[in-house]
Amino acid sequence: MSSLAAKQAEILRQDGNTCFKKDRFAAAIEAYTEAITLCPNVPVYWTNRALCHLKRNDWKRVEEDCRRAVELDHHSVKGHYMLGLALLQRKVYAEGVKKLEKALDLGRGANPNGYMVEEIWQELATARYLTWEHEATERSWNLQNLREACVAALKQKQFLDTSDTEGFVDENGKSNLDQLEGLACVFDKAAENDTPTELPDYLCCKITLDIFRDPVITPCGITYERAVILEHLLKVGKFDPITREPLYAYQLVPNLAIKEAVRAYLEKHGWAYKTE
């Protein structure tokens, strides 16, 4: 790649950025495409063009450009992030979640308090819920089919009459109705983890009311989301927002117990919790 080509490509990138800011996405795509033609191994040209495609809801091209971007730069936060979004649009949930998780890890490493970390987290939470919902629907369908098959087999075995409440009593003294009720309890229990639940209060920040990502505990024993309490200390004052006791950033300690509790809860429930 010659220095002249590199300079021309950078000028084209800047032109593309200008067009993008004016919502002239077609013109921006054209500029980024020319930059790519001159310097195809610069990942930012690919992610910039992918963002334009995203604005136009052209998810196929978003995926194509982002795959190329992450090939060129395995640490591209935007590349992994937009690739994850594109995969979710195709309902490729498992791979989409992995790409968003990668983007979140890279984003936290580069700038833990950056705006993209929060944005990626929200998209990841949504993606995981969609994954759970998709899998839960499939499991529920299979469970219902199995339930119906078991009920039919039990009826056939015990020769239930048309009332569905009378019939034989087995060697353990259980009637057909008892067996059917027991079967229903088994299947109801199996379906419990596929029912969305409200998040427990102790897993949520008292300021944002959202689930903890990076919980820290104060000397007063109250746990907050790190970024939120740091912003409070910076913009509002050096005091605990609940107890009003003096509080400084150096006094905040990671609450590893709550962090592990959050991880365990989300793992158990498959992110099957209700969100706004």
Q: Is CATH 3.40.50.2300 the right assignment for the domain spanning 201-269?
A: no
Crossing angle, helix 77-89 and helix 115-158, to 10 degrees?
30
Look at residue 176 in the predicted model and tell me its pLDDT. Answer: 60
All structural domains of the chain with their residue ranges: 3-111, 125-194, 201-269
Q: Which two tokens stand for residue 194?
A: 């596929």
Task: Assign a CATH topology to domain 3-111.
Answer: 1.25.40
Question: Where is pLDDT greater, at 235 or 79?
Answer: 79
Q: What is the pLDDT of residues 254-268, one digit of tens each?
A: 999 998 888 887 776
pLDDT at 25 over 60: yes
pLDDT at 181 over 80: no
Distances (CA, A) of 239 to 127, 220, 226, 251, 264: 36, 11, 14, 11, 31
Alpha-carbon dihedral of residues 156, 157, 159, 160, nearest 10 degrees? -70
pLDDT at 61: 97
**Cα gap 185→179, rounded to integer Å:** 10
CA distances from 223 to 211, 266, 272 (A): 12, 19, 23
> The whole model's pTM is what?
0.59
* Predicted local distance difference test score (pLDDT) of residue 138: 76
Q: What's the mean pLDDT in 25-42?
A: 96
Mean per-residue pLDDT, 236-243: 90
Q: What b-and-e string marks burial along 9-32, b requiring 16 or more CB atoms within 10 Å of the CB?
A: beebbebbeebbeeeebebbbbbb
Name the percent of the chain lying above pLDDT 70.
77
Flag whether pLDDT at 19 surpasses 80. Answer: yes
Write the DSSP string, 190-213: HTGGGS-BPPPGGGB-TTT-SB-S
> Which pLDDT band holds residue 212 (cuts at 50, 70, 90)?
confident
Edge to edge, the sheet with strand 253-254 lists 223-225, 215-217, 253-254
Q: Is the pLDDT of residue 122 over 70?
A: yes
Position 112 confidence tier, pLDDT thresholds 50, 70, 90: low
